[in-house]
Amino acid sequence: MFFASDNWAGAHPKIAESLTREASGYAAAYGSSDLDKRIEARFNELFEREVAVFFVGTGTAANSLALASVARAGGVTFCHFDAHVNADEGGAPEFLTGACRLYPVEGENGKIDAEALHGHVSRFDVPSVHQGRPMAVTLTQATESGTIYSLEEIAEVCAIAKSKNLPVHMDGARFANALVALDATPAEMTWKRGVDILSFGGTKNGCWCAEAIIFFDPAMAEEMPYIRKRSAQLFSKTRFVSAQFEAYLEDGLWLELAGHANAMADRLRSTLKTGNRARLAWETQSNEVFAVFDKALAEEAKAKGAEFYDWLVPRDMPHLVSENEVLVRLVTSFATTDEDVDRFLDICTGA
Amino acid sequence: MFFASDNWAGAHPKIAESLTREASGYAAAYGSSDLDKRIEARFNELFEREVAVFFVGTGTAANSLALASVARAGGVTFCHFDAHVNADEGGAPEFLTGACRLYPVEGENGKIDAEALHGHVSRFDVPSVHQGRPMAVTLTQATESGTIYSLEEIAEVCAIAKSKNLPVHMDGARFANALVALDATPAEMTWKRGVDILSFGGTKNGCWCAEAIIFFDPAMAEEMPYIRKRSAQLFSKTRFVSAQFEAYLEDGLWLELAGHANAMADRLRSTLKTGNRARLAWETQSNEVFAVFDKALAEEAKAKGAEFYDWLVPRDMPHLVSENEVLVRLVTSFATTDEDVDRFLDICTGA
Amino acid sequence: MFFASDNWAGAHPKIAESLTREASGYAAAYGSSDLDKRIEARFNELFEREVAVFFVGTGTAANSLALASVARAGGVTFCHFDAHVNADEGGAPEFLTGACRLYPVEGENGKIDAEALHGHVSRFDVPSVHQGRPMAVTLTQATESGTIYSLEEIAEVCAIAKSKNLPVHMDGARFANALVALDATPAEMTWKRGVDILSFGGTKNGCWCAEAIIFFDPAMAEEMPYIRKRSAQLFSKTRFVSAQFEAYLEDGLWLELAGHANAMADRLRSTLKTGNRARLAWETQSNEVFAVFDKALAEEAKAKGAEFYDWLVPRDMPHLVSENEVLVRLVTSFATTDEDVDRFLDICTGA
Amino acid sequence: MFFASDNWAGAHPKIAESLTREASGYAAAYGSSDLDKRIEARFNELFEREVAVFFVGTGTAANSLALASVARAGGVTFCHFDAHVNADEGGAPEFLTGACRLYPVEGENGKIDAEALHGHVSRFDVPSVHQGRPMAVTLTQATESGTIYSLEEIAEVCAIAKSKNLPVHMDGARFANALVALDATPAEMTWKRGVDILSFGGTKNGCWCAEAIIFFDPAMAEEMPYIRKRSAQLFSKTRFVSAQFEAYLEDGLWLELAGHANAMADRLRSTLKTGNRARLAWETQSNEVFAVFDKALAEEAKAKGAEFYDWLVPRDMPHLVSENEVLVRLVTSFATTDEDVDRFLDICTGA
């Protein structure tokens, strides 16, 4: 019963097979092999336009270097307070952008509140070296809270950014989960709504280590080759990433895996909603479920072999849990089985 | 006939198998899985002492973060002018150490000249904020020139560093090739000679992407978890690195692969030494061979399918090639075949 | 009628005289002259203990390098949202600390709310490379909002920091104004309450350019000489700073000047409190006054030669001004005259 | 007998007077006062074209921020090995450019050898993220060795830079000394020869603290306001710098002071050339003289009150001094008196 994180799962068999298949023979290094080129072209198709693609090693690297590509002295990036860049990347976004700042914005359900965003960005309307200057807005899809921006919400955030001439970055570590939940196309969820740069994550959804930065306007990526190398994120044997993406994107495997993870989360959601020793902390739509457990239940579940993390109560929900309760995070993945969900729910419902 | 680089080869079948084997099931992320722990313990055995091990994504990351672990304001690291950190890492060592400087030192055959090193470091003997202050010495084993420091030469460089209280880092992107050539143990070639931190590279020798920073005194690694995360080099599914190292280190596979690559280079060396349209540029001992080719030969070989790079003439050998000649680099790997070497040498010798 | 900022005033005549007096003759550079040493000793007396003193060129430099002295990978510094470091230093604190983060904390009247601080810092209680790690708390005395922490409030903030093993920095750009308002000694307002590092500002209070970083534990300053030089803040002719501080600290000049500025602000406060076209926006205790003006009044005053800035409405006071009103900031200084205040108040009261 | 450094002298009386004169009254801060504007216009005249001017606090800041204005990921700046940026600025150029690298170039007499420069820069002709990319050439006028580039030599270095599309920066900490020695105009020694950015130093030549970065194409300075603020180099009371420059540039004071310093150095040079216990180490043309002294003489001179520094023997002149000799540096300034020179030379010649 593994619900600790989607990165506790290994790699999907088809990903592993693809790696084995590509392991032999020679290929040019540093992104110039035929396979690399083929995968880049595959991303063009996927997004229905010419894009620039840069592989990196971690989601943190993808986010940080995406922001580095638009960094400038005194630059400020607006993000949700609970965004991964702000809460979970150990200062990498600051470090790899040359010390640019993240400016946390409030918003319910882990989503940037558009009106609040407008207010914050507008505080910089009068140019001032003292204040610094806005350089980007970044949103996370699906969010760290398990919620998903609707297409309209994405458009709304992007519109505010555009009105201030700011590029928009989307952290898509769980891009597939959001896409499936919205039943949208990759283009619809990104550049058609105003997103300029995307961290396209494969690792949490069945790859070993496959992350890509996608620029919807390749001209914006001009400095990226040097930025990536400077940050030690240029792999020599890039085909090992390409090989993962090859299998990942073939025949919709990526959507299938995300769909499975979401469905498993749905099962958790529908049962926990009605439990009496456990309840949903808030509504989510992706493969993450947040629940308030009786402490006794949490301990019992762990004793019976369930793996999951206790979670920090959000800053804006101080009264979420009572003294004998605990907030827990449950994450499903491509590898989650019906059996595991059944066993876990049985424990939760006392069945 | 692929002699462009050892990173044009893919992964050894046993590495691929290990990855497939470890792909299923769940494992704790971020370096805390059982497999990760087992591999860490394996490194203790390998080096005959307790070491601290940190996986990272690239050799450039390994070198840069190793130096970051000893970085301080105004810090200066001494390296050979042609060292990878100085010549081929796109500024990553400076960037990831928070702007510390590399100080290039001369020396024949790509090796730091010990006496010259002593002279340079001694210029900092009187502490001065204006000059900055030494923070490390780094040497490359095997060197970028294909040569290898003898154990005595390593000891000599380390002794100078120690006399100035400086830690020593070894860039071991081709550690195995050097080790095999010297017929030494890992301990003998490192801490027993005075090396403090090692970049242990697996990628060039049959892994997909497996690099580790080894601290021979774990106390020196205290800050590394934060330094690594800040640099976006902490993988979530670390078992994909561990799985590579598991196969790599099992039953001496790594030494076998390096031995093969070296042997293939030996064949190139012994024949080219006596050729008349091609000659060795200088003596090497690892899996890299540098040769001066008639331009016509170089073109002919490429036309017949040989892959290799023309190389910049070293700064200290301005008269190495005449006008109708070109310096070329030939690199062998675990995947190089006798047949490829035969065909290539036939072209070179006009056979 | 100059109320734009205390940095619109030039230098006090005694400061100018001191500079002229010290201009001739030779003195060792880079902080090692007799005068420099004498001033350092003067600071020991002032703070009733041995301190380490570092001159720098700007208040922003003082704050940024103070934080740089305690910086570490993944480091997070807690400050009030409206603190100068967060709102007005153009990213210097991040840049000069090697990309450490500022974590804005709420609190009324521009002062960190101690309970809120405790909550935020406690979120880091479980060590995690993902979250980063607390490295300092910084508070501003007097605050950017014109308010002043009482000695008890300083002690309270410091106690929380100490309970988490965090050093405390005080931004004292308007240190003298606060000190006079509280009628405390320098020691009482700093280390006796738990402050570890102080930015001691002279520029806003009658110097040309005289800022010092004070370490109450000299052992904490070990790296500072290199940090300061790396940041290009080591002046060669340091006696020009020392000469300013010499006059500044002699016979209590600094307290006299701050007392005058505060008294001028008191006059503004007491009259504006009761006006009908102007009212105090909130209570202040230093040489800064914030008032809500009818827009017509603000325009009239400017037309009649008053210099002051319109100010951004604080984030936590969205309803402070109505549509035909504007928030203004009025700052007095050592150079403010009774006549100027009279004329300005006459305008405000329609006298 | 003060020959330790030109920064041991204080400020010229006219500089001190100007500061006193400007100390009273109010003026807009942060570079926007009338006086500031007047001085900016004065620089336009001086350089016979519209320039962009940025005051900063130290020569190290001027050099570092000038380079920061052309910095980019993987950037490499070519300088002489003994250049101040490389030898004496404690890593500030790297730190304040966001970790760009300095690439030391050889050359006699402290001057970049043009042919060598061409060779080094040409090594980057094939773009490569691994190598990084050239971003600037910087030369020092007068050099740290006391020598001066002729106008032709400046043109030659600039021509090479231009042929590679590289901007040229000139470190003019001793700009006036060089200008007077060459009897050239400011325009002739800079942009008319191809210099793009100049560090214009006043501090060593009679100011307290007055350094300016001059952009000969103001369009290149677009990012500078943010870069300067981020580096904590934006003074609030900028008129204190302007007031210094006002006096400095009035009626040719700056050239007079530099001329005096040079003349004093000429006297040292002409006598030491022929001494038998002291000899010139090499020919210089500015206000710096390097001499080889018998150790006994050096001790005697110091015992008799002469202040000067022993100096590191240049890397490329290892046999300059014998065992009982020492290299010393003698620096004259606007404040050096004939009497001091007489007394010192009497000691040296045993008169």
What CATH number is given to the structural domain containing A51? 3.40.640.10
Residues of C in contact with A99 (CB under 8 A): 91, 94-95, 97-99
Inform me whether the pLDDT recorded for C221 exceeds 90: yes
Both tokens of residue C212?
Answer: 């010092």
C152 and C194 housed in the same domain? yes
Instruction: Using CB atoms within 10 Å of the CB of residue C295, give its burial: 0 to 12 exposed, 13 to 18 middle, 19+ buried.
Output: middle
- pLDDT of A273 reads 85
Same domain, yes or no, for A192 and A246? yes
Whether B132 and D98 lie within 8 Å, measured CB to CB: no
Partnered with residue C134 across adjacent β-strands are C76
CB burial of residue A138 (10 Å; 0-12, 13-18, 19+):
buried
CB of D335 within 8 Å of a chain C CB? The answer is yes
The whole-angstrom distance between A96's CA and the closest CA on chain B is 7
Which band of pLDDT confidence, cut at 50, 70 and 90, is reported for residue A16?
A: very high
Q: Choose from B56, B100, B230 for mutation: most chain C CBs within 10 A.
A: B230
pLDDT of residue D273: 85
Helix (H, G, I), strand (E, B) or coil at A215: strand
pLDDT value at C350 more than 90: no
pLDDT tops 80 at residue A307: yes
Please give the Cα distance from B311 to B306 (Å, whole number): 15
- Pair of tokens at residue B106: 């001369």
C91, C95, C130: residue with CB nearest A90:
C130
Smallest Cβ distance to D133: which of A130, A226, A227? A226
pTM of model > 0.80: yes
| C316 Cβ neighbours under 8 A, 6+ residues apart | C106, C108
Beta bridge partners of A198: A170, A214
Give B-chain residues touching A231 at CB under 8 angstroms. Answer: 92, 95-96, 231-232
Q: Which two tokens stand for residue C244?
A: 């300013």
Contact assessment for residue B199 and residue B66, using Cβ atoms and an 8 Å cutoff: yes
Predicted local distance difference test score (pLDDT) of residue C201: 98
- Tell which residue, D259, D50, D239, has the closest CA to residue D174: D259
**Enclosing domain of residue D343:** 254-349
Instruction: Enumerate residues 238 to 297 of chain B having a beta carbon within 8 A of any beta carbon in chain D.
Output: none
The distance in angstroms from the start CA to the end CA of chain B is: 16
For residue C129, the model assigns a pLDDT of 97
Q: What is the dihedral of CA D40, D44, D50, D53, to 10 degrees?
A: -40
In a domain, C7, yes or no: no
Q: Residue B170: name the closest of B180, C72, B181, B187 by CA.
A: B187
- Condensed to tens digits (0 to 9), the pLDDT of residues D217-265 reads 999 999 999 999 999 999 999 999 999 999 999 999 999 999 999 999 9
Q: Would you call D226 and C90 a contact, using CB atoms and an 8 Å cutoff?
A: yes
Q: Tell me if ipTM is over 0.95.
A: yes
Q: Which other chains touch chain A, taking contact as 3+ CB pairs less than 8 Å apart?
A: B, C, D
Q: How far is B317 from chain A (nearest CA, A)?
A: 28
In a domain, residue A5? The reply is no
The token duo for B309 is 């790079």
- In angstroms, the CA D110 to CA D265 distance is 18
Residue C150 shares a structural domain with residue C264: no
pLDDT at A297: 96
Instruction: Give yes or no: residues B62 and B189 share one domain.
Output: yes
Does residue C2 belong to any structural domain of this protein? no
Query: Could you tell me if B98 lies within 8 Å of chain C, comparing CB atoms?
Result: yes
Distance, CA of D156 to CA of D115 (rounded, Å): 9
> Is residue B213's pLDDT more than 90?
yes
DSSP output for D285-308? -SSEEEEEEEHHHHHHHHHTT-B-
pLDDT confidence of residue A139: 98
- Residue at which a domain ends, from B251, B275, B306: B251
The CA-to-CA distance between both ends of chain A, in Å, stands at 16
Minimal CA–CA distance to C236: which of D143, B124, D331?
D331
Asked if C170 and C67 sit in the same domain, the reply is yes
Is residue B275 over pLDDT 80? no
Per-residue confidence band for C239, with pLDDT thresholds at 50, 70 and 90: very high
Contact B208, A237 (CB under 8 A): yes
DSSP designation for A186: H
Rounded to the nearest integer, the mean pLDDT of chain B is 96
- Is pLDDT of A283 > 80? yes
Query: What tens digit of pLDDT does each residue of A67-77 get?
Result: 999 999 999 99
Residues of B in contact with C130 (CB under 8 A): 229
The share of chain B scoring above pLDDT 90, in percent, equals 96
For residue C174, pLDDT beyond 90:
yes
Could you tell me if residue C241 is inside a domain? Answer: yes
CB atoms within 10 A of CB C255: 16
User: What is d(CA A259, CA A270) in angstroms, rounded to the nearest whole number?
Assistant: 16
Indicate whether B178 and B110 sit together in one domain: yes
- Using the structure block, give the residue that is written with the tokens 């396209």: A200
> Over the stretch C178-213, which tens digit does the pLDDT of each residue have?
999 999 999 999 999 999 999 999 999 999 999 999
Measured between alpha carbons, how far is C167 from B107 in angstroms, rounded to an integer?
46
- Do the domain assignments include residue C113? yes
**Quick one: B221 and B268 in the same domain?**
no
What does the pLDDT read at residue C290?
A: 97
Q: Do D143 and D46 share a structural domain?
A: yes
Report whether B81 contacts B104 (CB < 8 A): yes
Instruction: Calculate the average pLDDT of chain D.
Output: 96
Residues C244 and C274 in one domain: no
Q: Both A244 and A313 in a single domain?
A: no
> What is the model's pLDDT at position A27?
92
Is residue C5 domain-resident?
Answer: no
Q: CA–CA separation, B48 vs C98, rounded Å?
A: 37
Beta strand residue intervals within chain A, DSSP E: 52-56, 75-80, 101-105, 133-140, 168-172, 197-201, 211-215, 278-280, 288-294, 309-310, 325-331
| CB pair distance less than 8 Å for A95 and C98 | yes
Whether residue D8 is contained in a domain is answered as no
Distance, in Å, from the CA atom of C130 to the CA atom of B226, rounded to the nearest integer, reads 8
Place of tokens 């023979």: A25
pLDDT digits (tens, 9 = 90+) for C9-55: 999 999 999 999 999 999 999 988 999 999 999 999 999 999 999 99
Rounded distance between C-alpha atoms, residue C17 and residue A14, angstroms = 81
Q: Do B88 and D131 touch (CB under 8 A)?
A: yes
Question: Which of B17, B246, B24, B23 is closest to A20 using CA atoms?
Answer: B17
Q: What is the CA radius of gyration of chain D?
A: 20
Number of neighbouring beta carbons within 10 Å of residue C279: 14
For residue D350, pLDDT beyond 90: no
Write down which chains contact chain D via at least 3 CB pairs under 8 A: A, B, C
The CATH number of the domain holding residue A333 is 3.90.1150.10
At which of D183, D218, D252 does a domain end? D252
Measured between CB atoms, does D100 come within 8 Å of chain B?
yes
For range B57-72, the mean pLDDT: 98
Residue-level pLDDT at A275: 73
pLDDT score for C80: 98
CB-CB under 8 Å, A73 with D227 = yes
What are the C-alpha distances in Å from C68 to residues B221, C52, C169, C218? 21, 15, 11, 15
The mean pLDDT of chain C is 96
The DSSP call for residue B31 is T
Tell me, yes or no, whether C156 and C78 share the same domain. yes
Question: Percentage of chain B surpassing pLDDT 70?
Answer: 100
Report the pLDDT value the prediction gives residue C98, as an integer from 0 to 100: 97
With a CB cutoff of 8 Å and minimum separation 6, the contacts of C249 are: C39, C42, C46
Residues B259, B309 within the same domain = yes
How many angstroms separate the CA atoms of B284 and C194, rounded? 62
How high is the pLDDT of residue B316? 87
Give how many domains chain B has, as a whole number.
2
> What is the chain B residue with the closest CA to D87?
B131
Chains within contact range of chain C (3+ C-beta pairs < 8 Å):
A, B, D
pLDDT per position as a tens digit, D312-349: 999 889 899 999 999 999 999 999 999 999 999 999 98
Say if residues D191 and D216 touch (Cβ distance below 8 Å): yes
Confidence at residue D276, expressed as pLDDT on a 0 to 100 scale: 80
DSSP tag of D80: E
Does a structural domain hold residue B322? Answer: yes
Using CA atoms of C138, C144, C149, C153 in order, give the dihedral in degrees to the nearest 10. -40
CA distance C332 to chain B (A): 39
A85-110 tens-digit pLDDT: 999 999 999 999 999 999 999 999 99
pLDDT bin (cut points 50, 70, 90) of residue D127 is: very high
Judging contacts by C-beta atoms under 8 Å, the chain B residues touching residue C32 are: none
pLDDT recorded at residue D351: 72
Q: Which of C110, C244, C246, C249 is nearest to C179 (CA)?
A: C249
The pLDDT value recorded for residue B92 is 98
pLDDT of residue D100: 97
pLDDT digits (tens, 9 = 90+) for B131-171: 999 999 999 999 999 999 999 999 999 999 999 999 999 99
Domain final position from D229, D252, D275: D252
| pLDDT of A262 over the 90 cut | yes
